Amino acid sequence: MSAVQQETNVTAKSSTATAESRAAKLMKRRSRVRFYEIIVWIAAIAAYFLLPSKMLILTEIAILALFAVSLDLVLGFAGIVSLGHTAFFGLGAYVAGLLALHYVAEPVTGLIVAGAVSGILGLLTSFLILRGSDLTRLMTTLGIGLMMAEVANQMAWLTGGADGLSGFSPGAILGLFEFDLFGKTGYIYCLIVLFIGTMIMRRIAFSPFGISLKAIKANPMRAGMIAVPARKRVVTVYTIAAVFAGMAGALLTQTTSFVSPDVLAFHRSADVLLVLVIGGTGYLYGGIFGAVFFTLIKDWLSVITPQYWMFYIGMLLVILVLIGRDRLARWVEYLPERFSKKEDGK
Amino acid sequence: MSDIVLETRNLKRRFGAFLATNDVSLKVERGARHALIGPNGAGKTTLINLLTGVLPPSEGQVFLEGEDITSLASFRRVKRGLTRTFQINQLFNDFTPLETVALAIAEREGVGHNLWKSMAGYDRIVDEAAALLARFGLASVMGERTVILPYGKQRLLEIALAFASKPRVLLLDEPAAGVPEDERHEVLSIVSDLPADVTVLLIEHDMDLVFSFANRISVLVAGALFTEGTVAEIAADPRVKAVYLGENA
């Protein structure tokens, strides 16, 4: 081997080594905790101390956020549009209610069982969304949602029909923490579940599985050509999302001691989509930002114009979509650099 | 030699009344550098789509190493060692080249379903992705979003991505299209450096590339196999000149 050749070999080797160490850094930085994530959780805890009279709306936000984050896993990652995500939310709500009414009043047990049952429904219905376009998926998921609502309505002996389920009160959480009148325990409970749920989904997002979901969304044909088994992945993620949606439903039941047929109403599926449109998709925290904004604006509008607040929600939706969904999905990137960097290049 | 790694039998594909692939029975030997040429609209890309499962055939069968893969999904064919590049880049726009290649390697290694471990935790995969990108001259841009890369770089990523799956049969659909003139031979030399038992089927319009790269050539005309032979035979065939080379000459 000549000296020149040797030298080129050495250069090639060292450039490969440089590339490797840079790649390792880039990959690690990708999943690093962002500044806005820390702010979100600090704000959520601060709200507990600063807004003691607002526990109910804070609880509502935490529940909607968990519901929306679970939808983001399906919509923002795998690219599956759903108008029936409330089927899982509602099922979870009813399961938690029935469990508290007939068997176990302890909430964490109810939460887990509700998540499991909703997950089973998610698994079974996931096979219906494997085929077809966005439109067929919208219609299929809408149909499943409507069917669930009608089943709950008709099985009055079990679900209380149009009157809903009541007459139960949740026990102490893990036998230790009683729910209080002001909803303080309820908020902390929901916040902890939201935090754990978001952390689990965040972990999924940065795994090879999570990356493969985004590949399926971005280009299904190419995803197939790098051996991503798209159908299997969609079944798995749809099931996981259903588990967390069911848990969100269970939280609603447990913090309100009531299950109304409204938990399966179409508007909930639409609301949660709107939440993601507001907050942005594909990075999980959009569900949280959207839930905060949506709940506050809804609350504010319903105070100032109790009759017509839906009009303004509708107007907001039109404006948001006109501004452009793509830009919306990236609004975090429009914040100052160090607050926002979602993806890292440099 | 009868070590046939990829074979089609009476393959047909219709689009309405149009027969895009007309009764193609093609045999590709293991380790071959096989080129598929033909005038525009001859059905070359359709044939590649049929081979890789992007399109289902109307009739006929596809065999990979003697096994009928006609009804297998694309991702299963890739798992069996058959992969391709696309004539028009098919990439993940918002991914970085690093993420793109790392995912392909993760899927090859069978860890794509892992939803608990961070991709950054797979040191060997990340290292391999970096080395592959460096080999294709993409190291400097591995952290950029793919969509903002210059076309030539995207083209290289398209080919690097196919390499990441470590195919045993690689189908290249006009790999040099859009690659700057001076980088073309570089691309093809990386392909030529593949181990001898890796089979390559190449679609290409640049005849210089075809003649320097291939050891066997099939000519496709109007969806049907027109003729087949060694480079010398095809180069000397007056009928091929008439239907194809004549166009350019």
B216-228 exposure pattern, b = at least 16 Cβ within 10 A, e = fewer: bbbbbbebbbbeb
Domain shared by B177 and B104, yes or no:
no
Q: How many domains does chain A divide into?
A: 1
pLDDT at A181: 81
* Phi, psi (rounded to 5 degrees) for A183: 80, 15
pLDDT tens digit sequence for A10-27? 566 677 888 889 999 999
Q: Write out the two tokens for A101.
A: 């009414």
- Reference A58, options A173, A186, A193, A195; nearest CA is A186
Please report whether residue A72 resides in a domain: yes
Contact B63, B182 (CB under 8 A): no
Burial of A148 (0-12, 13-18, 19+ CB in 10 A): buried
Residues of B in contact with A212 (CB under 8 A): 103, 106-107, 112
Dihedral sign from CA coordinates of B67, B68, B69, B72:
negative
CB contact under 8 A, B74 and A16: no
Task: Single out the residue in B108, B139, B166 at which a domain terminates.
Answer: B166
pLDDT at B114: 94
Contact A256, A100 (CB under 8 A): no
B contact residues 97-126, partner A, Cβ 8 Å cutoff: 98-100, 102-104, 106-108, 111-120, 122-123, 126
Domain shared by B102 and B53, yes or no:
no
pLDDT at B166: 93
pLDDT tens digit sequence for A65-101? 999 999 999 999 999 999 999 999 999 999 999 999 9
Band of residue A343 on the pLDDT scale cut at 50, 70, 90: very low
Residue A112 CB partners (closer than 8 Å, separation 6+): none
Please report whether residue A175 resides in a domain: yes
Between A230-256 and A55-72, two packed helices, what is the crossing angle to 10 degrees? Answer: 170
pLDDT at A334: 54
Domain shared by B182 and B248, yes or no:
yes
CB contact under 8 A, A222 and B91: yes
Task: Single out the residue in B166, B182, B203 at which a domain terminates.
Answer: B166
Q: Which residues of chain B have a pLDDT value below 70?
A: 1-2, 244-249
pLDDT at B245: 52
Band of residue A302 on the pLDDT scale cut at 50, 70, 90: confident
CB contact under 8 A, A27 and B106: no
pLDDT at A338: 46
**What's the rounded mean pLDDT across residues A232-250?**
97
Q: Residues of A at the B interface (Cβ-Cβ below 8 Å)?
A: 15-16, 18-20, 22-24, 26-28, 30-31, 203-204, 206-212, 214-215, 218-219, 221-230, 232-233, 236, 240, 343-346
pLDDT at B21: 93
pLDDT at A331: 54
| Chain B contact probe: residue of A21, A217, A225, A237 with most B CBs at under 10 A | A225
Domain shared by B176 and B211, yes or no:
yes
Band of residue A332 on the pLDDT scale cut at 50, 70, 90: low
ipTM: 0.91
Domain shared by B182 and B235, yes or no:
yes
pLDDT at B2: 62
Please report whether residue A307 resides in a domain: no
Is pLDDT above 80 for A2?
Answer: no
Contact A80, A136 (CB under 8 A): no
Q: Write out the two tokens for A164.
A: 């809903």
Is pLDDT above 50 for A153?
Answer: yes
Task: Single out the residue in B113, B144, B166 at which a domain terminates.
Answer: B166
| List of long-range contacts for A54-58, beta carbons under 8 Å, 24+ apart | A55/A182, A55/A183, A55/A184, A55/A186, A55/A187, A56/A183, A57/A295, A57/A296, A57/A299, A58/A187
- The residues pairing with A64 across neighbouring beta strands, listed in sequence order, are none
CB contact under 8 A, B95 and A16: no
pLDDT at B75: 95
Q: Write out the two tokens for B3.
A: 């070590």
Looking at per-residue pLDDT, the higher value among A46 and B207 belongs to A46
Cα R_g (chain B), whole angstroms: 18
pLDDT tens digit sequence for A91-135? 999 999 999 999 999 999 999 999 999 999 999 999 999 987 889
Q: Per residue, what are the HEC states of A201-266?
A: HHHHHCCHHHHHHHHHHHCHHHHHHCCCCHHHHHHHHHHHHHHHHHHHHHHHHHHHCCECHHHHCH
pLDDT tens digit sequence for A188-236? 999 999 999 999 999 999 999 999 999 999 999 999 999 999 999 999 9
Q: In angstroms, how far is CA A22 from the centroid of its own chain? A: 33
pLDDT at A300: 92
* Phi, psi (rounded to 5 degrees) for B228: -150, 145
Please report whether residue A119 resides in a domain: yes
Please report whether residue A260 resides in a domain: yes
**What's the rounded mean pLDDT across residues A151-157?**
93
Domain shared by B197 and B234, yes or no:
yes
Band of residue A306 on the pLDDT scale cut at 50, 70, 90: confident
Q: How many domains does chain B divide into?
A: 2
Please report whether residue A150 resides in a domain: yes
CATH number at residue B197: 3.40.50.300
> Which 3 state secondary structure label does DSSP give A78?
coil
CB contact under 8 A, A23 and B52: no
Calculate the alpha carbon distances from B134 to A11, A283, A285, A288, B186 in Å.
Answer: 12, 29, 34, 39, 13
Question: A150 is in which domain, residue-wise?
Answer: 54-264
pLDDT tens digit sequence for B29-41? 999 999 999 888 8
Question: B118 is in which domain, residue-wise?
Answer: 90-166
